[in-house]
Structure 1
Amino acid sequence: MTTLNTTHAVESAPESIDASTLKTWEDNHDDLMVIDVRSGAEFDAVHINGSYHVPLAMLSEHTEEFAAKLGTRVVLVCQSGNRAEQARKHLDAVGLAGASVLAGGVPAYAAAGGNVVRGRGPWALERQVRMTAGSLVLASILAAKFVSPKLGLVAGGIGAGLTFSAATNSCAMGQALSKMPWNRPANEPTAHQALWNLDAKA
């Protein structure tokens, strides 16, 4: 993979910052770019005012293109920090080492009194994962008792999947749910639109 020349990046930027630090940066740095890597539905439900929407899957597929558009001070945000950390690693792999991750994600920023834009949308992706996993486990336990004991293996499979998810800091179920119709609103940007929005900032 081609490595970018990223002399424009802030070398001293920490890998993770808290909500208070981000609020301070907003007040003191005109070059700040906040990149939200959540799903379109999550972004529509609530997002940091002035942030740019670049879903993680899109950033992963077009990492070099987005890295070339990012400015001198970049903060990656999601719902908890996990997806933002994945995005940071993708950018770091192509030479953009100056990006920071917002610890606690958008909820932590909102709780700290940050300026957010609220709309209407489905549950946050992490909440959808908990509901889906919990429902599958409950259903498999009931099915094992009343239908066939073999159906209890489903609960074991879900448990193994959650354990693997925690160990690898990834979530296959979350990625699958993010592609569901209710998580992909009509106004979700294309890669071209997202790149154009970043150009407009410059």
Structure 2
Amino acid sequence: MTLRTVNAVEAYSLMSRGAALVDIRPADEHARVFIPGAVNVPLDRLTHAALPDASVVIFHCRSGNRTRAHQAALSAAAICESYILEGGLDHWRKAGYPFQEDRGQPLELMRQVQMTAGALILLGIVLGFAVNTAFFGISAFVGAGLVFAGATGWCGMARLLAAMPWNRRPVATA
């Protein structure tokens, strides 16, 4: 079933009348920036029982892409009137509505993986040209790891980064 989208103005109005706002992003993304009062129910834990008890539910993610891509699952989980926040958190912020940001929280794990993979690939290329062609192997290894992660859903780099001290801090909840 296709869920109707609501813009930030409509969502704010619905929330003032008791609608529940549900953030479907992973906990690490929610901890870094969130809409006050939003309940964090990541997609991988989305069930009717996990949703707040409300007559109207508005789902959101960062940009609206995840909510649109998973609207069948969102609709199935919500047995009440439900909507998708158009443009997600990004449009909410642009509209000037309140949000909280905790820059003390670590970057989202996927962004850490992207930055680390990119840095290692660049390092391998630079060292391959400047020092020894054997260093191109670093880039090949990281590239193969990314292909493997995409094909299997298991990412060794993400597991390694998740175990780093900066990612083991408690995640704040809204």
TM class by shorter-chain length? 0.5 to 0.7
User: Residues of 2 paired with 1:143 and 1:37: CA distance?
Assistant: 41
Question: Residue 61 of structure 2 corresponds to which residue in structure 1?
Answer: 78
2:84 to 88, 94, 101: 101
User: Residues of 2 paired with 1:46 and 1:34: CA distance?
Assistant: 14
User: Residues of 2 paired with 1:122 and 1:150: CA distance?
Assistant: 30
Question: Residue 195 of structure 1 corresponds to which residue in structure 2?
Answer: none
Equivalent position amino acid for 1:24 in 2? S
Contact kept? 1:35, 1:76, Cα under 8 Å? yes
Q: Tell me how far 1:50 sits from its aligned partner.
A: 1.1
Contact kept? 1:34, 1:50, Cα under 8 Å? yes
Contact kept? 1:42, 1:121, Cα under 8 Å? no
User: Residues of 2 paired with 1:183 and 1:58: CA distance?
Assistant: 21
2:120 to 136, 139, 144: 136
Contact kept? 2:57, 2:80, Cα under 8 Å? no
1:18-29 maps to which residues of 2 (within 5 A)?
A: 18-27=7-16, 29=17
Q: For the structure 1 residues 114 and 131, does the alpha-carbon distance in structure 2 shift closer, same or farther, using more than 3 Å as the test?
A: same
RMSD of the TM alignment (CA)? Answer: 4.1
SS of 1:74 mapped into structure 2: strand
Contact kept? 1:88, 1:99, Cα under 8 Å? no
Structure 2: segments with no counterpart, 5+ residues: none
Contact kept? 2:120, 2:139, Cα under 8 Å? no
Q: For the structure 1 residues 113 and 95, does the alpha-carbon distance in structure 2 shift closer, same or farther, using more than 3 Å as the test?
A: closer
Query: Do structure 1's residue 153 and structure 2's residue 140 form an aligned pair?
Result: yes
Question: Residue 186 of structure 1 corresponds to which residue in structure 2?
Answer: 170
Question: Residue 17 of structure 1 corresponds to which residue in structure 2?
Answer: 6
Q: Deviations over 1:128-170 (max 9, x none)?
A: 35423422331332354444244442464477579x69xxxx9
Equivalent position amino acid for 1:111 in 2? K
SS of 2:100 mapped into structure 1: strand
Question: Residue 40 of structure 2 corresponds to which residue in structure 1?
Answer: 53
Question: Residue 110 of structure 1 corresponds to which residue in structure 2?
Answer: 93
1:121 to 94, 105, 110: 105
**What TM-score do the two structures reach when normalised by structure 1?**
0.58
Equivalent position amino acid for 1:65 in 2? A
**What TM-score do the two structures reach when normalised by structure 2?**
0.65
Q: Tell me how far 1:82 sits from its aligned partner.
A: 3.8
Question: Residue 35 of structure 1 corresponds to which residue in structure 2?
Answer: 22
SS of 2:20 mapped into structure 1: strand
Q: For the structure 1 residues 20 and 94, does the alpha-carbon distance in structure 2 shift closer, same or farther, using more than 3 Å as the test?
A: closer
User: Residues of 1 paired with 2:56 and 2:157: CA distance?
Assistant: 28
Structure 1: segments with no counterpart, 5+ residues: 1-10, 190-202
Equivalent position amino acid for 1:102 in 2? L
SS of 2:22 mapped into structure 1: strand
